[in-house]
Amino acid sequence: MADDRRGPELPPARGPVSAAVTAYLRGTGPLPRAEEAGGAAAYGDDLQLALYICYELHYRGFAEVDARYEWDPGLLAVRSALEHRFLTALRADTPVHDSLDDALAQVLVEPVEGTGVSHYLRDEGTLWQLREYAAQRSLYHLKEADPHAWVLPRLWGRAKAAMAAVEYDEWGGGRAERVHARLFAGLMADLGLDTTYGRHLDAATAEALATVNLMSLFGLHRELRGALVGHFAAVEITSSPGSRRLAEAMRRTGAGPAARFFYDEHVEADAVHEQVVRHDVIGGLLAEEPELASDVAFGIDATGYLEDRFGGRLLADWRAGRSSLRTPLAAETTGIS
């Protein structure tokens, strides 16, 4: 059984900024200059990995890194420069709807002819492609719902109660064996993947890292609480139909029962969560702070933008007959922790 309590190892760098950040955390070099960090490509491997490493210090950290680095002033300054570069690019590049109603309508309606990743995996995906998809998604699903918990102290009343209720479901409703992160580890084991927390960080693309970094960015900043609620809404609204397709893909390719169960569970649970998030989390938030409507819309739209980039990368690689991963997957399974 894998021991995740000590955190993963620091990953190999992907450029000068991430190299300097990892060297600093190992005590072997200085931090990158803020202007160097802020000048990196917004969606590139170097910036996204450096930002992911900075954020991971607020989750489980890394095995060889002192926990006190979480609040290191110099590292926080570098993180701020990385965040500013990422967020500025997102605000410039994300097609934002004119109103929150329009943003919600966009995710509430399923296209007649779906062309996304879940459609591809359901209709023609192979087991190796499902393994790659699960490996990249593990960067979030092994800490599922955790980034959204940061918004709880920043809400009150109906929004807070409803958000806490959905989060409680995500964490198994008080039952450890039903925690969604653990259910995803079961899915990974059925697919023959190493279930260790953070194991597949080096294999994941910049596009995958960006989808996880977005949650941490929104969650760690109180001023972005509306965007975090929008992100959560986008995930919950689109999860049920997408999970149904992925469950069908697992069945068609002969994946094990735990792999099928993870998505079957989300089909039912997230159909309920969608209603709660729309009516009580968003409704409760805007009843108290109506000025956050545009931030909620931005959160929905930015989520869609980055998910489309990630999906486009996966489909381009798979349709060309090549792996979507930066490093190959091992074949053996490890225990679930």
* Count of Cβ atoms closer than 10 Å to residue 33 Cβ: 14
Given a contact cutoff of 8 angstroms between Cβ atoms, the answer to whether 222 and 147 are in contact is no
Retrieve residue 264's tokens: 């079957």
Give CATH for domain 98-319: 1.20.910.10
- Amino acid letter for position 277: V
Contacts of 279 (CB under 8 A, 6+ apart): none
- Report which of 246, 238, 229, 233 is spatially closest to residue 109, judged by C-alpha positions: 238
Q: In the chain, which residues fall in CATH 1.20.910.10?
A: 98-319
pLDDT given for residue 337 in this prediction: 41
CA 165/CA 158 separation, integer angstroms: 11
- Amino acid letter for position 125: G
Give pLDDT tens digits along the chain (337 positions).
355 567 899 999 999 999 999 999 999 999 999 999 999 999 999 999 999 999 999 999 999 999 999 999 999 999 999 999 999 999 999 988 889 999 998 888 776 567 899 999 999 999 999 999 999 999 999 999 999 999 999 999 999 999 999 999 999 999 999 999 999 999 999 999 999 999 999 999 999 999 999 999 999 999 999 999 999 999 998 888 899 999 999 999 999 999 999 999 888 766 778 889 999 999 999 999 999 999 999 999 999 999 999 999 999 999 999 999 999 986 544 444 4
Query: What is the pTM assigned to this prediction?
Result: 0.94
Retrieve residue 50's tokens: 């450096």
DSSP code for 70? G
